A and B are shown apart, each in its own frame.
Chain A
Amino acid sequence: TVGVVALDADGVVAAGTSTGGVTAKRWGRVGDSPIIGAGTYATNAACAVSCTGAGEYFIRLSVARTICALVELKGLSLQAAVDQLVQRDLTKLGGEGGVIAVAPDGQMAWSFNTSGMYRARIADGEAMVVGIYKDD
């Protein structure tokens, strides 16, 4: 699965996700990636989120929408919200994966409970960061 979230100069955030799913899937299985609210969500009231991981868990937790709700309604920082969903809720449920997010105020965040996630971030006035492993 791949995904990108962005904030533009007009202050608009957006999110996109694309995937081939899981190897040897059957029965027309669809994971979270194309499901708005589970694998992808964006609202200028909070943030934009794209997910990757064991899709069934992300669907049950409505991960992308819930992260936005935590930011909008509970006032969590973006990093605190993504960590709550990935490091606490997803892990507690037994799911694996990660998320990326960006907020209208320029906050960027990522969180994953696997040993690695291919990732990169860049922003106006900030150097690009590229990572693979947890300790990158």
Chain B
Amino acid sequence: MAKWALVAHGGAGVIERAHLRPEQDAAYREVMGRVAQAGAAVLKAGGAALDAIEAAIQILEDDPLFNAGRGAVFTAQGDIELDASIMDGGTLAAGAVAGVTRTRHPISAARAVMEHSPHVFLGGEGADAFARSQGLEAVEPSFFFTERRWKSLVRELERQGLPIPRRPAVAPAKEDARTALAHDEGKRG
């Protein structure tokens, strides 16, 4: 029996070989492997499952290839609203946040709710404020912006016949190379 184990996902959807260029395929595999290795390093050293999860998810939240943290999708209003949750199977302790817009790592906010509040689920500005009160890193909403997600929003709103919000004024003018690699692959979640 394995002493420790870890499984990670980066989203599911319409993802077919014909849709990903070789460099896109390689980029996703590289990150998923790095995420697994980062979590495994924590577990190999005797660390807690919660620590492995937080370390691994922070990598995914910082990587613009994935719909979480930086690189997340936009709402119809042109904002980015992030949700996260975490649960400890040993104690049934749990924490969650929804609709945060200024907390760099929502998974850490969820863990802070679990460990440092009497609550399970905080939402919106209150969740961001709680995260700040716990010393978690706060960022401007523009930190999460990526050009490909903005383009996806514009396409979706045009399809639905809804108004296009003003592009965020502080959005980066140019796409970075890694984000430009990725296309909108029709992920579900």
**B21 nearest CB across to chain A (Å):** 13
Asked whether A20 lies within 8 Å of B72 as measured between CB atoms, the reply is: yes
Asked whether A42 lies within 8 Å of B189 as measured between CB atoms, the reply is: no
**B12, B15, B43, B90: which contacts A44 (Cβ < 8 A)?**
B90
**B56, B90, B96, B189: which contacts A34 (Cβ < 8 A)?**
B96
CB neighbours of B187 from chain A (8 A): 1
- Name the prevailing secondary structure of the B interface residues: mixed
CB neighbours of A10 from chain B (8 A): 48, 90
> Assuming the A-B contacts A14-B88, A24-B157, are A117 and B11 also in contact, with contact meaning beta carbons closer than 8 angstroms in the complex?
yes
Asked whether B49 lies within 8 Å of A123 as measured between CB atoms, the reply is: no
How many chain A residues have a CB neighbour from B under 8 Å? 77
Q: Mark A43-65, 1 if CB is under 8 A from B, else 0.
A: 11001101111110000000000
Give bound CA distance, A39 to B189, whole Å.
Answer: 11
**B40, B53, B81, B85: which contacts A36 (Cβ < 8 A)?**
B85
Asked whether A118 lies within 8 Å of B14 as measured between CB atoms, the reply is: no
> Assuming the A-B contacts A8-B43, A19-B67, A24-B160, are A98 and B85 also in contact, with contact meaning beta carbons closer than 8 angstroms in the complex?
no
Asked whether B74 lies within 8 Å of A24 as measured between CB atoms, the reply is: yes
Asked whether A122 lies within 8 Å of B40 as measured between CB atoms, the reply is: yes
**B16 nearest CB across to chain A (Å):** 5
Does B52 count as interface, using CB distance less than 8 angstroms?
A: yes
Asked whether A6 lies within 8 Å of B39 as measured between CB atoms, the reply is: yes
**B69 nearest CB across to chain A (Å):** 7
Asked whether A130 lies within 8 Å of B29 as measured between CB atoms, the reply is: yes
Asked whether B85 lies within 8 Å of A33 as measured between CB atoms, the reply is: yes
Does B169 count as interface, using CB distance less than 8 angstroms?
A: no
Asked whether A132 lies within 8 Å of B2 as measured between CB atoms, the reply is: no
- Name the prevailing secondary structure of the A interface residues: strand
Residue among B28, B49, B152, B162 facing the most chain A CB atoms (10 A cut-off) = B49
Asked whether B96 lies within 8 Å of A118 as measured between CB atoms, the reply is: no
> Assuming the A-B contacts A5-B53, A12-B88, A24-B75, are A34 and B188 also in contact, with contact meaning beta carbons closer than 8 angstroms in the complex?
no
Give bound CA distance, A16 to B8, whole Å.
Answer: 10
CB neighbours of A133 from chain B (8 A): 15-17
Give the residue name and chain of the B residue nearest to A26 (CB).
B76
| Chain A contacts to B: CB under 8 angstroms | 1-10, 12-26, 28, 30-31, 33-36, 39-44, 47-48, 50-55, 96-102, 104-106, 108-110, 112, 114-126, 128, 130, 132-133
Q: Can you give 18 A-B contacts (C-beta < 8 A)? A: A4-B7, A4-B39, A6-B43, A8-B47, A14-B87, A16-B110, A17-B85, A21-B72, A34-B110, A35-B96, A44-B90, A110-B9, A116-B14, A128-B37, A130-B29, A132-B25, A132-B28, A133-B17
